[in-house]
Amino acid sequence: MSANPQFDVYRLPEEHEEIKAATREVCDAEVAPRAAETDANAEFPRKSYDALRAADLHAPHIPVEYGGAGIDALGTAIVIEEVARACASSSLIPAVNKLGTMPLLLAGSDDLKRRYLPQVASGEAMFSYCLSEPEAGSDVAGMTTKAVRDGDHFVINGAKRWITNAGESEYYTVFASTTPGSKSKGISAFVVEKGDEGVSFGAPEHKLGIKGSPTREVFFDNVRIPADRLIGEVDEGFKIAMRTLDHTRVTIAAQAVGIAQGALDYATGYVQERKQFGQAVSQFQGIQFMLADAAMKLTAARQMTYVAAGKSEREDHDLTFYGAAAKCFASDAAMDITTDAVQLLGGYGYTTDYPVERMMRDAKITQIYEGTNQVQRLVIGRQVLKGIMG
């Protein structure tokens, strides 16, 4: 304990340091050694999933009452950061489990939570999030997937695109129009199961990065589900979706921080071993400047992410600002840092024999999904104009 307790706010509590250390130990032993293979084969990292599941790190946010580890938002962000440091594809296991289940935690009935969350907590099932469509990415209100009430059921028709872990997940939070013509005010959220009749999947997308996390279209052809799988109330879906993203943009920020840390770690080790002109290249001022810039950006991104995670846990009034700002800043920083890491390795950085080119490819998506950084800047700007920025 410091002599002046008020300054303890600027360091992680001991329990979170323990979460960080435990996650790093698992990832160094079981996840990082498989990262290159996962990327090369573009296959879901089943063994990494098993390792995370064995350590209760696959869905750490699930509350204890539903069989989960009950780790808070900051601890979950740290888990995702540490997994991403080792393998970005694997970090989407805890991240997307949180994304998919957050609508239930925010607005689901007790029955719905007890029906689905324990299976995610145990690792028997994963949960994905179906919001984007072929013609409705940033324009969520433009979605065309429809859910029509039919007695005690809803019948869903449409398609969702860019769905992370589609086909691997057993459960899906699906957003659909229930009041045509009402745009954002006529959207509802539902739980759809992989085994429901009429659910099918497109071919996996061939992506630049995060290749071990399958991204596919999900199709709904007269999918008939019980009405009790409605999350919240009819036409509350848009509000639920936006509240969810306020929380889960923090996890993308954490993923970006982890990817950047992995790249900086590797590049720092490399420049101390690589020799040119009779000395380690780390002794050159230009190299040290690049490392210094990377370290400053990374430290700032991490602090923003941790603050946003704390606000997520408390559901502070300014979470929208902090979640968007952390996601935007951290992902931009990750792109800069991983690109410089490739530069620091020179020609070797451009080859698949070294991990930094993979990290650079993985970092790019953090600027795009869960709202492009252009959209984040719109969100941030509007919050500033409202006078909401902390």
Q: What are phi and psi of 17, to 5 degrees?
A: -60, -40
CATH number at residue 187: 2.40.110.10
| Predicted confidence (pLDDT) at residue 4 exceeds the cutoff of 60 | no
Q: Identify the domain boundary among 122, 152, 179.
A: 122
CATH number at residue 56: 1.10.540.10
This prediction has a pTM of 0.96
Q: Which is catalytic among the residues 82, 133, 217, 370? A: 370
Same domain as 163, residue 84: no
| Predicted confidence (pLDDT) at residue 85 exceeds the cutoff of 80 | yes
List pLDDT tens digits, range 99-158.
999 999 999 999 999 999 999 999 999 999 999 998 888 888 889 999 999 999 999 999
- Where in the sequence is the domain holding 70, given as residue range(s)? 5-122
| Predicted confidence (pLDDT) at residue 186 exceeds the cutoff of 70 | yes
| Predicted confidence (pLDDT) at residue 2 exceeds the cutoff of 70 | no
**Cβ(330)–Cβ(80) below 8 Å:** no
SS3 per-residue string spanning 93-162 = HHHHHHHHHHHHHHHCCHHHHHHHHHHHHHCCCCEEEECCECCECCCHHHCCCEEEEECCEEEEEEEEEE
User: What was the pLDDT predicted at 389?
Assistant: 80
Same domain as 78, residue 156: no
Same domain as 281, residue 150: no
| Predicted confidence (pLDDT) at residue 11 exceeds the cutoff of 90 | no
Task: Give residue for tokens 């028709």.
Answer: 157
User: What was the pLDDT predicted at 137?
Assistant: 83
Same domain as 378, residue 271: yes
Q: Confirm whether 169 is domain-assigned.
A: yes
Q: Identify the domain boundary among 122, 144, 173.
A: 122
Instruction: Choose among 113, 52, 62: nearest CA to 83.
Output: 52
User: What was the pLDDT predicted at 1?
Assistant: 41
Strands 171-177 vs 127-130: parallel, antiparallel or unpaired: parallel
In the annotation, is 30 catalytic?
no
Number of domains in the chain: 3
